Every structure is written in structure tokens, then in C-alpha cells.
Amino acid sequence: MAVAESTSQGITGIKRERIWDSAWINTKFLLGSFMIILIILFGFLGPFFWDTELAYTASSPINLPPMWQEGGTPEYPLGTESNGRDMLASLIVGTPSSLKVGFIAASIGMGVGLILGSLAGYLGGWPDHVIRTISDSIITIPSLLVLIALATYVHMPDTTVMALILALFAWPGPTRLVRSQVLTLRERGYVKMAQLSNVSSIEIMLVEMVPNMLPWLAASLTGGIAGAILAATGLEALGLGPTRVPSLGLIINNALTSSALVRGMTWWWLPPIIILILIFTGFFLMTIGLDEVANPRLKGIKNG
């Protein structure tokens, strides 16, 4: 009886160990997802608890410090800046704007990359040569300089236009990733069987190949979102982004142009930087976790 009970406990322990060793239960991915979800909730639920109209010019007293510093007040817990904007309201409005740019640009880039990469890898021949040549050529172009030039001449009334501009350089990386995966998958047995069964090429790519590439695609998407947010923030900090839509980059630009660093107004420029650090850290952890899901050997090497 005791032996049976011990054996049962051993089997249960093995099952639990296998569950927690499952590839999708990845600590880095879960931690990064938790950070990003908190930031998204901050931006989307904030308007229900705080007056976001205070994020606009002349809506608040100027140059108030945070409430924990001398001269601060609980009515403006994170203080205000020289243009009369409440910092908490600015962060609540600006965070979704920055995330929106990243999601739109990366999603378009991933969609185009998935289509072109699948065609290049599966069809081969001249389509592969043309797509690979164009994507490799665009990757060598210093995208930041081109984006600065485009932002100088293109009117950007909102963040959607900026996201579309960033998407112009967001597809070559996913294209190369998808192409390399398709080149491997098209030699698999189930793909050969589908070809012998006269299944159409489109159905093979969408039904047979894409589901097997999901971890790689997700990792590329999270990395692309972080890259697009970084590029957008850089343009906005230089004063080349939309000026009517509050964003994290615009807050930093206003702080720079108003010499907030020299004046010691840390509550003006530090909070958006902290949020950006959390965003980049969260997406980085998600990307690393998804890489380990896609390639379990990475986890084994790191643990070793």
C-alpha cells in the first residue's frame, strides 16, 4: 500500500514537473507580458479615474512639483510643466499613443513580411531572388536618416501617419525570418504529403506552415513593436512627430525645448523615460521568452 502511494506521488510529481517545464509556461514571457499589460491598463483605464483634459495646454497651474516635494499638491500628484499640463494626465494620454504607433507599424511590417517571405521561400526561383534582393537592399539603408528626412517633409497630423511611415522599413526583417522558416518547413513530410494530395500552394502556406511558425512570428512581432516605438519616440523627441497628439516622445521634446533638465524639473522628463524603459524591458522579455519557446535548446543551453 505504501509502495503504491509512493509510486502515485512520484507520478504526480513527474506530471507537475512536466507541466511547469512546458515550453509555453516561460517565466520571461509571462513577466514581460505582465509588464506590458500593466502599461496598457494604465493608458486605457486611466481616463476613468483621472481627468485627461488636464493633458492640454493651460489646463493647470504651471511648474508645480510632485505632491511629495515642497510646493506640491495632491490635486496634481506628479506635478505640472511650463505649458500648464498635468503630468499624470499627459502620461495617461501619451502612453496609448506611443503603443499605437508600435502596434500599427509592426503589424503592417509583419503582415507584408509574412506574405513576401512565404512566397519567396515556398516558390523559390525568380520570385525568391527579387524579394530577397529588395529586402536585403532596404535593410542596408540607414532607416533613421531616411525617416528623419521623410518626417521633415511629410505632414503628420496624427500618430497613424507616423506609423505608416515607420512601416515602410518594418517588413524586410520579418520577410527574411519567414523565408528562412519556409525553406525549412517545405522539406517536411507533412508538406510533401499535402503537395502529393494536390493541395493548393496558398492552402499549404496558410494551413500547414503558418501555424508551425507562430512562436517565431510572435517573437518578431514583439521585437518589431519595441523597435517602432523607439523610432517614433526618437522622431518625436527631435520635434518631427505630431505636435497636437500627446505622446511620450512629445513630452520629452517639450521638456528638452523648455530646458527642464537644466531647471531641475525631473518630474517633467523622468516619468516618460521610466515608462519607455518598462515598455522596452517588457517587450524584450517577451521576445526572449518566445525565442526559447520556438527553440527549446536555448533554454537548455542557458540552464546548463
Question: Taking CA 156 as the corner, what is the angle to CA 154 and CA 247, rounded to the nearest 5 degrees?
Answer: 140
Average pLDDT over residues 158-179: 88
Q: Hey, what domains does the chain have and what are their CATH numbers?
A: 42-303 (1.10.3720.10)
From 239, 233, 277, 279, select the one nearest 256 (Cα to Cα).
Answer: 239
Tell me the pLDDT band of 20, cut-offs 50, 70 and 90.
Answer: very low
> Which of 91, 83, 80 has its CA nearest to residue 44?
91
Q: Helix, strand or coil for residue 166?
A: helix
pLDDT value, residue 299? 58
Residue 296 pLDDT level (bands cut at 50, 70, 90)? low
Tens of pLDDT along 210-237? 888 888 888 889 999 999 999 889 888 8
Q: Is the pLDDT of residue 14 over 80?
A: no
What integer is the mean pLDDT of 254-265? 88
- Assign 86 to helix, strand or coil: strand
58: left (phi over 0), alpha (psi -120 to 50) or beta: left
* Whole-angstrom distance, CA of residue 180 vs CA of residue 220: 13
Question: pLDDT value at position 11?
Answer: 46
Mean pLDDT, to the nearest integer, of 20-27?
60
Given a cut of 80, whether residue 260 has pLDDT beyond it is: yes
Res. 280 pLDDT band, cuts 50 70 90: very high
Find the mean pLDDT for residues 43-71: 89
More confident residue, 77 or 11: 77
In one letter, which amino acid is 280?
F
| Distance, CA of 130 to CA of 272 (rounded, Å) | 42
| pLDDT at residue number 188 | 83
What average pLDDT score do residues 45-63 get? 89
